[in-house]
Amino acid sequence: MAGQNPKQPSTQYHHHVAALAFPFGTHAGPLLSLVLRLAAAKPDTIFSFITTSKANSSLFSQTSKASAFLNVKAYDVPDGLPEGFVPSGHPEQLIGFFLKAAPANFRIVMKEAEAGSGLKIGCLVTDAFFWFAGDMAEEMKLPWVPLWTAGSRSLLVHAATDLIRQRVLGTGGNAVKTLEFLPGFSKLEVADLPEGVVLGNLESPISSLLHKMGQELPKATAVAINSFEEAEPDVVNELKSRFKKFLNVGPFNLASASPPLLEDDSGCLEWLDKHKPASVVYISFGSVVSPPPHELAAFAEALAESGFPFIWSFRGNPDEILPNGCDKSSLNGKIVSWAPQVQILEHAAVGVFVTHCGWNSILESIVGGVPMICRPFFGDQNLNMKTVEAVWGIGVGIEGGVLTKQGAVKALELILRGEAGNEMREKIKVLRSLARSAVEDNGSSSKAFNSLVNIVTKHEEV
């Protein structure tokens, strides 16, 4: 993928920024979104976007927005897998190999990018997972700007892991159940924390990575995040006190100059036009994990019994999952293999979003003004759910933590027919308004983004 865009004369550019992307899950997309915004703001700067060929291929397709930017070039970094490697199907194994080889591999590719552009790299913008980039930036005497692609609450948990372990594990394990010693956490409990902080395997590769990241981020020139300050002011203020600079530059789905309108091949938006306001259920569990088949079947039964109209973005073959005797045509909705989520959530007919509680999905739901029913799986998703439910009051967790027919019907009725649903809609309108204000010209996210542009393109030895 290197040299995918035609080489430009080096005189056209005055700065060179290397962006190092984590190629797993949904990490690389948000980093590329940020790079494209920076590239639009600074056309005299060249951005070398470095990740695996697999990730680059999907991000830099011919139809992608990225292909229009002459000052953004994709470079491939090896995936670190040994020759003849046969994957076990466990993603942590692939991540482990990639990370072990990443520092040396990134250094080699950055040299190629410098040779290709004729300009020395002046700044490292990386996924926050790459805690080792701090050492690289120090060696190269460059600013380091990590991007945290999730929410500020989960970031504070990883930045404060040592304190949390001291308070929770240092007192016999069960003595402290709430987290009120952290600003903004009075409504959360130890059980809400991501696995690997105080519960589960504290030495797993991901747990170790996040712990090390939390310890290293304070030396970054600035930490950027896909969020807006007004969403969680207490948490943001605490992070500002821990980092040299903490820049909320989102929500990316609002802040991008012109988010691309995605094709609606299944006619979802036209179908929504025929429905009453706040009456339709939208279901999507993201692109990484799905609930097990018995939960999906239970949810299909809940939809059939309640009769609510729905759009279900379904990965796999629905015929293998739907309960016996449940004919798709008897359901009052659309089951599609892919849906334009942002546009669907902004449609007035959508009344509730059934989600895994990934951070991008939560931001899209806030911007759309749609309350959530949450079925989290791993990582920060449980913490996000408790934020949605207990802190913001804009959604509910599924009863018992797993999808059952009875629990799903209860949650759907609560939000689509109950007064509680109207209250959630009012609360989410306030958050949506704050998000929109943040990205306006004098808004907090716009000011933070201007500060980020200055850091990234003004190279002074650090």
**Mean pLDDT, range 424-450, rounded to an integer:** 97
Distance CA 109, CA 213 (A): 23
Beta strands 72-76 and 223-225 are: unpaired
The token pair that represents 299 in the structure block: 């949810």
**CA–CA separation, 217 and 432 (whole Å):** 29
Active site residue ranges: 27, 127
Residue 325 has pLDDT above 80, yes or no: no
SS3 of the chain: the string is CCCCCCCCCHHHCCEEEEEECCCCCCCHHHHHHHHHHHHHHCCCEEEEEEECHHHHHHHCCCCCHHHHCCCEEEEECCCCCCCCCCCCCCHHHHHHHHHHHHHHHHHHHHHHHHHHHCCCCCEEEEECCCCCHHHHHHHHCCCEEEEECCCHHHHHHHHCHHHHHHHHHHHCCCCCCECCCCCCCCCCEHHHCCCCCCCCCCCCHHHHHHHHHHHHHHHCCCEEECCCHHHCHHHHHHHHHHCCCEEECCCHHHHCCCCCCCCCCCCHHHHHCCCCCCCEEEEECCCCCCCCHHHHHHHHHHHHHHCCCEEEECCCCHHHCCCCCCCHHHCCEEEECCCCHHHHHCCCCEEEEEECCCHHHHHHHHHHCCCEEECCCCCCHHHHHHHHHHHCCCEEECHHHCCCHHHHHHHHHHHHCCHHHHHHHHHHHHHHHHHHHHCCCCCHHHHHHHHHHHHHHCCCCC
Tokens of 32: 């590329």
Identify the pLDDT of residue 260. 55
pLDDT for res 461: 45
Higher model confidence: residue 357 or residue 331?
A: 357
* Rounded distance between C-alpha atoms, residue 89 and residue 72, angstroms: 33
Task: Give, in order, the Cα–Cα distances in Å from 19 to each of 26, 50, 301.
Answer: 16, 6, 46
Q: Are 140 and 114 in contact (CB under 8 A)?
A: no
Q: Do 64 and 39 form a contact (C-beta atoms < 8 A)? A: no
Contact between 155 and 162 under an 8 Å Cβ cutoff? The reply is no
Copy the structure tokens of residue 250. Answer: 């989102």
Are 366 and 435 in contact, with CB atoms under 8 Å apart?
yes
What the block records as the tokens of 438 is: 């943040």
Q: What is the pLDDT of residues 376-407, one digit of tens each?
A: 999 999 999 999 999 999 999 999 999 999 99
pTM of the model: 0.93
- Which structure tokens are listed for 339? 């849906």
Task: Give the pLDDT score at 177.
Answer: 77
Which tens digits make up the pLDDT trace of 63-110? Answer: 678 888 999 999 999 999 998 888 777 778 899 999 999 999 999 999
What pLDDT shows up at residue 165? 93
pLDDT at position 459, please? 59
Domains located in the chain, CATH noted: 10-258+439-457 (3.40.50.2000), 268-437 (3.40.50.2000)
Q: For residues 429 and 26, which has the higher predicted lDDT (pLDDT)?
A: 429
Average pLDDT across the chain, whole number: 91
184 close to 153: Cβ distance less than 8 angstroms: yes
Please write the tens of the pLDDT for every residue from 222-269.
Answer: 999 999 999 999 999 999 999 999 999 999 989 875 555 667 888 999
**Angle between helix 205-216 and 91-117 (nearest 10):** 50
In the predicted model, is pLDDT for residue 460 greater than 80?
no
pLDDT tens digits, one per residue of 141-196: 999 999 999 999 999 999 999 999 999 887 554 556 789 999 999 999 999 999 99
What pLDDT digit, counting tens, does each position of 342-371 carry? 999 999 999 999 999 999 999 999 999 999
Length of the chain as a residue count: 462
| Residue-wise pLDDT tens digits, 270-282 | 999 999 999 999 9
Cα separation, 215 vs 209, whole angstroms: 10
How confident is the model over 44-57, as pLDDT tens digits? 999 999 999 999 99
Q: How far apart are CA 338 and CA 312, in angstroms?
A: 9
State residue 8's pLDDT score.
45
Could you give the CA distance from residue 313 to residue 370 in angstroms, rounded to a whole number? 16
Distance CA 6, CA 24 (A): 28
